[in-house]
């Protein structure tokens, strides 16, 4: 293996965690322990970034693993983009290594102060684009996703709402058999 290849595979940091026992993610995963290798960010930068993504999109019962996937996606996008790597690493440096252990109120205020920066906006956009697109998020939010492969929702709950009156036929249409 030549040096550039070895360099490409070099691990710069690691994020690890343990899935909450009995949670929806633990049921999907082969093992409760997870570990994600970073290629550009250090472990400490990864931890700060993970905390930042949770502050932007807080879901208390959503496992850290879902947020680690966002960190992984951001870390991957830095490999081929030096400008972005500079933006993210300098932004994380300014937040400091105490960010992740600060109370939420403090974290929110710190982020509010940098809301207009490219650093914040990039992380916000990437968090929103990644966090809710994973199978882990689908399971957590109860989203059933595509249904074509199952014959649609026609016989599977598209009209099962019972807490409001039904719509008269003249304003809707017959349900196909």
Partner 1 sequence: MAQIAHDDSNAVVIIGSGAGGGTLAHELTRRGIQVVLLEAGARQSMASFSQNPGEAFGQLTWLDPRTTSGNWSVREDYPGLPSWTAKTVGGTTVHWTGATPRISPWEVRSRTTYGAVDGTSLIDWPIEYSELLHYYELAEKRMFVTRRHGLPGLPASNHFKVMYNGAKRIGYKRVHTGHLAVNTSPMDDRGMCIQQGFCVQGCKTGAKWSTLYTEIPRAEATGNLDLRVQCHATRIEHGPDGRANAVIYRDAQGNEHRQKARLVCVACNSVETARLLLLSESAQFPHGLANSTDQVGRHYCRHTAGFIWGLFDKPIHMWRGTTLSGIIEDETKHDPKRGFAGGYHLELAALDLPSLPLAGIPHTVWGRDLGFFMEHYDRMAGMLINGEDMPRSTNRVTLNRDVKDRNGLPVAHIHIDEHSNDTAMRAHAQRQGRAVYEAVGAIKTMVSRQTPATHNMGTARMSKDPRDGVCNAHGRAHDVPNLYISDGSTLSTPGSANPTLTIVALALRQAEHISKELKAQNI
- Chain contacts with partner 1 (rule: CB under 8 A): 55-59, 108, 111, 115, 121, 124-125, 128-129, 132-133, 137-138, 141-149, 151-154, 156-161, 163-167, 170-176
In whole angstroms, the minimum distance from the beta carbon of 172 to partner 1 comes to 4
Based on CB atoms, which residue is closest to partner 1, 2 or 168? 168
32/124 with CB nearer partner 1: 124
Q: How far apart are CA 112 and CA 166, in angstroms?
A: 45
Q: 30 or 174: whose CB is closer to partner 1?
A: 174
β-strand partners of 31? none
Q: Looking at beta carbons only, is 117 or 138 nearer to partner 1?
A: 138
Residues 6+ apart with CB under 8 A from 175: 154, 159
Closest CB 28 distance from partner 1, rounded Å: 16
Residues near 89 by Cβ (< 8 Å), separated by ≥ 6? 40, 41, 45
Task: Compute the half-sphere exposure of residue 77: CA atoms within 13 Å on the CB side of its CA.
Answer: 18
């Amino acid at each position: 293996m030549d040096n550039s290849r070895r360099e490409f595979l070099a691990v710069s940091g690691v994020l690890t965690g343990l899935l909450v026992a009995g949670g929806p993610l633990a049921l999907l995963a082969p093992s409760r322990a997870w570990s994600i290798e970073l290629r550009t960010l250090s472990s400490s930068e990864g931890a700060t970034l993970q905390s930042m993504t949770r502050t932007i999109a807080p879901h208390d019962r959503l496992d850290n693993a879902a947020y680690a996937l966002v960190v992984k996606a951001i870390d991957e996008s830095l490999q081929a983009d030096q400008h972005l790597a500079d933006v993210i690493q300098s932004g994380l440096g300014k937040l400091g290594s105490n960010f992740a252990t600060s109370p939420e109120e403090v974290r929110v205020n710190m982020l509010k102060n940098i809301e207009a920066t490219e650093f914040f906006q990039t992380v916000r956009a990437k968090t929103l684009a990644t966090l809710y697109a994973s199978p882990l998020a689908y399971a957590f939010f109860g989203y059933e996703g595509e249904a074509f492969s199952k014959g649609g929702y026609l016989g599977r709950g598209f009209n099962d709402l019972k807490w409001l009156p039904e719509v008269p036929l003249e304003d809707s249409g017959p349900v196909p058999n």
